Amino acid sequence: MEQSERRRPGRPSLSNEELLDKALDLFLEKGFAGTSIDAICASAGMAKRTVYARYGDKENLFKAALSRAIDEWIVPVESLREQESEDLEASLMRIGEILVQNVLNPAGLRLLRLTNAEAVAMPEIAQENVRRGTEPTLRYLADLFRRRLGGGGGNFARAEDAAQAFLSIVVSGPANNAAWGMRMDMVSIGQHTRYCVRLFLHGLLEDAAAPAKDEAGQLRLLLREAEERLGEARMRMDEAVRLVRD
């Protein structure tokens, strides 16, 4: 019998991305310490020698899987910049919605939970998450506030503080709630995001003040109510599209 006839066909080799995805799922389910290379190889249908040849050890594989998760999670600054318009409040509404939805999607929640679980033992993974994901967003927001609130010279001394406050008020709350298993529907998330953006821009005292009785004040209130309804309608449409796709 010829050599070609004696050779058994091998299993199709998983791509590196598929291997990292399967590894990440196991790390999230069982934790870094509770996940073995054997379990990863069994899940991926891949020989141990292949995994060791690519990554050397479990820690390097974990960090590579986490790096891939960060790549999938990051919102490019260009995508945020595209949301800008002459209306700063409307711009921040759209930017806030993108950031909140991004951190609450399955990839974002997986990264958040895994980072929170392993950051004590490996603080460098949290630092990498901040360096590649959070810091570019903070720099963009600070630049936005300088351009829009700093006058002609772009001189807004508290731009970095404002950027940090925006992320803390608008994004961190829903992210922390989700990490602890608290669920919000898409409409509630949209309402919460819009309220937090207005709270950030105008403050609690202005928000609690009596409605303006002049014509301009009434017009602002009507526009705000219309924005709320449009935002809720957009959220419902997005949720309907997601359900259809699933």
Query: Tens digit of pLDDT per residue, the chain (246 long)?
Result: 444 444 344 444 567 888 898 998 899 888 889 999 999 999 888 889 989 999 999 999 998 988 888 888 889 999 999 999 999 999 999 999 999 988 888 888 888 888 888 888 888 888 888 888 889 999 999 999 999 988 777 788 889 999 999 999 999 888 877 767 777 777 888 888 999 999 998 886 654 454 555 566 566 656 666 666 666 666 666 666 666 666
Q: What is the pTM of this model?
A: 0.71
SS3 sequence of the chain: CCHHHHCCCCCCCCCHHHHHHHHHHHHHHHHHHHCCHHHHHHHHCCCHHHHHHHHCCHHHHHHHHHHHHHHHHCCCHHHHHCCCCCCHHHHHHHHHHHHHHHHHCHHHHHHHHHHHHHCCCCHHHHHHHHHHHHHHHHHHHHHHHHHHHCCCCCCCCCHHHHHHHHHHHHHHHHHHHHHCCCCCCHHHHHHHHHHHHHHHHHHHHHHHCCCCCCHHHHHHHHHHHHHHHHHHHHHHHHHHHHHHHC
Domains of the chain, first to last: 11-70 (1.10.10.60), 74-245 (1.10.357.10)
